[in-house]
Amino acid sequence: MLISAVQFAPEFINKEFNIEYVKKCLSEVKSDIIIFPELSLSGYFFLNRDEASANAIDFESVELDFLREDAQDNNRIIIIGFAESKGNKIFNSAGLFFPDRTLNCVYRKTHLFYKEIYAFDRGDTGFFVVSFPEKNIRIGTMICYDWRFPEAARCLGLDGADLIACPSNLVTPLWNKVMPARAIENKVYLAVANRIGIEKRNDETLLFNGRSSIYDYNGDTLAEAPVDSAKIITAEIYPERTRDKSFNLINDINMDRLPDMYKQIMKK
């Protein structure tokens, strides 16, 4: 099974450009799973709810039909970050589009980063895994800053993910040290689709630091994009290899967990 992560520079509040760019990538990539960055259709640096709201899209909107149709017509899974409007709420979400439309769903970012708190509501979906038996894959999603909380990846690992997809707009250089650990400790594949470019608002500039990566369940890098240029990276994965959580004759990362002991530590 082939998986790709798309690294590019979404243009701030230029939905037409971003949608055309995503369509162009989709026409070029043949992988079974394609992951795009966080807020791919709107850009990132919203300073308030009004701005985010004006650029948010309802998940059922016809504007996202091209993703529903592509996933169905080309028998592949697409995961893409977008600003989602739902009633009077606005979420920093990832849309998951499957060949079987009944599985389509959104993950809404749980841990909001920096000024996202002024623009978005905190995600209400929690962490969940979608199983797609036709491709024998179980996918969990987290978005960007969720990486700082090992509980996010742990929830997805315990819920049976083979692959954690992580649409991102990462601005610190720290995450590369941690993502491979998330893959190892949960014995899952992990794919980060990060963005590049800068966004300047008032007197503040954010630099997004690329290096989109696909890690295997031993934390080894299968593919990595450059720090500052657009690139689609692709790797072959074998989802069933993540399911036996033992790593020698005696130890198994799920069986060896001792949740009662962790509760004692947390109470202190």
Q: Are 139 and 129 in contact (CB under 8 A)?
A: yes
In the bound state with ligand ACM, the residue whose beta carbon lies nearer, of 93 and 242, is 93
- Cα–Cα distance, 235 to 216 (Å, whole number): 9
Member of 31, 40, 169, 242 binding ligand ACM (CB under 6 A):
169
- Is the Cα dihedral 240, 241, 245, 248 positive or negative? positive
The set of long-range contacts for 247-254, using a CB threshold of 8 Å and a minimum separation of 24, is: 247/187, 253/185, 253/186, 253/187, 254/158
Of 25, 90, 163, 170, which lies in the binding site for ligand ACM, with binding defined by CB under 6 A?
Answer: 170
Tell whether residue 141 is a contact of ligand ACM (CB under 6 A).
no
Min CB(158)–ligand ACM separation in Å: 23
Q: Is residue 113 a contact residue for ligand ACM (CB under 6 A)?
A: yes
Please report, as residue ranges, which positions from 13 to 52 form the binding site for ligand ACM (by CB under 6 A): 38
Q: Does 166 bind ligand ACM (CB under 6 A)?
A: no
Task: Pick the closer one to ligand ACM by CB: 104 or 209.
Answer: 209
Residues 6+ apart with CB under 8 A from 14: 43
* Backbone dihedral angles phi then psi of residue 225, each to the nearest 5 degrees: -90, 160
Residue from 38, 51, 116, 224 carrying the catalytic annotation = 38
DSSP secondary structure letters along 19-78: HHHHHHHHHH---SEEE--TTTTT-S---SHHHHHHT-B-TTSGGGHHHHHHHHHTT-EE
- In the bound state with ligand ACM, the residue whose beta carbon lies nearer, of 68 and 111, is 111
145 scored as a contact of ligand ACM (CB under 6 A): yes
Among 52, 153, 171, 214, binds ligand ACM (CB under 6 A): 171
**Is-catalytic flag, 109?**
yes
Structure tokens at 142: 């987290």
Considering only CA atoms, give the Rg of the chain. Answer: 18
Query: Binding residues for ligand ACM, how many (CB under 6 A)?
Result: 7
Task: From the candidates 25, 144, 155, 166, give the one annotated as an active-site residue.
Answer: 144
Q: Quick check: 153 binds ligand ACM (CB under 6 A)?
A: no
Residues of this chain that bind ligand ACM (CB under 6 A): 38, 113, 144-145, 169-171
Active site members: 38, 109, 144
